[in-house]
Amino acid sequence: GAGVSQSPSNKVTEKGKDVELRCDPISGHTALYWYRQSLGQGLEFLIYFQGNSAPDKSGLPSDRFSAERTGGSVSTLTIQRTQQEDSAVYLCASSLALAGPYEQYFGPGTRLTVT
Amino acid sequence: GENVEQHPSTLSVQEGDSAVIKCTYSDSASNYFPWYKQELGKGPQLIIDIRSNVGEKKDQRIAVTLNKTAKHFSLHITETQPEDSAVYFCAARHQNNNDMRFGAGTRLTVKP
């Protein structure tokens, strides 16, 4: 079946603009995660959703970052007033449930470049 | 919170040799340890995982070992092939939290 999809695959934006990144999880997966991967670095956890709710937003790096998930499926990560340090690959993953099994399946990522 | 350290950051081996990547974690309440392989331009793909009630797991040329007392786990790839070249990430998941902490990654190069 279809895996996790993300759009756009690449986004170039000017500093100060807002961007929206989209994630479409695997059908039936109730848990959804957002990560950030800076060049040559590991994955930084940002936020997870169980259904439509996000119990823990402490991983978001600043209040310019927000995420929502409606209908228990598609999620959008919004970055307001983008800064150059926001440049990274943003990865989305989904899993069947938070309580297990824990296997997370990743999308291809959105490469964000802030000029 | 959980802190995962991964070594080495780069590893180069000859085709056919074995490769070992090691990770340590800080929180003894972590109970799930996956390994991901990331090829250029792609998202990470789960290749093997282990839960805290198991000490070792093997899948063909890939094996993972877990030492709960020492809080470290390792990925072993035997008979390496050029297509094994990628960045490998370890991760640890706390049994009560729902975020996954990743290591910084190991770039494995298998020379033909």
Q: Do A31 and B98 touch (CB under 8 A)?
A: yes
Chain A closest CA to B26's CA: distance in Å? 17
Yes or no: say if A32 and A69 are a contact pair by the CB < 8 Å rule.
yes
Chain B closest CA to A94's CA: distance in Å? 12
Yes or no: say if B90 and A94 are a contact pair by the CB < 8 Å rule.
no
Q: Do B6 and A42 touch (CB under 8 A)?
A: yes
pLDDT category at A60 given cuts 50, 70, 90 is very high
Candidate from A23-37, A51-65, A67-81, B35-49 with smallest mean pLDDT: A51-65
Mean confidence (pLDDT) of chain B = 92
Q: What is the number of other CB atoms lying within 10 angstroms of the CB of residue A71? A: 8
Q: Report which of B29, B62, B31 is spatially closest to residue B45, judged by C-alpha positions.
A: B62
Give the pLDDT mean for A16-37: 94
Instruction: Give the model confidence (pLDDT) of B59-106 as tens digits.
Output: 999 999 999 999 999 999 999 999 999 999 999 988 776 668 899 999
Q: Do A91 and B100 touch (CB under 8 A)?
A: no
Chain A nearest-CA residue for B104: A42
Q: Do B44 and A48 touch (CB under 8 A)?
A: no
Q: Report which of A28, A27, A23 is spatially closest to residue A9, judged by C-alpha positions.
A: A23
User: B100 in contact with A at a CB cutoff of 8 Å?
Assistant: yes
- Chain A residues with a Cβ under 8 Å from any Cβ in chain B: 4, 31, 33, 35, 41-45, 48, 50, 55-56, 59, 91, 93, 98, 102-109
In angstroms, what CA-CA distances link A4 with A33, A49, A94, A97? 11, 15, 7, 15
User: B34 in contact with A at a CB cutoff of 8 Å?
Assistant: yes
Q: How far apart are CA A96 and CA A16, in angstroms?
A: 36
Cis (ω within 30 of 0) for the bond into B82? no
User: What pLDDT was estimated at residue B41?
Assistant: 81
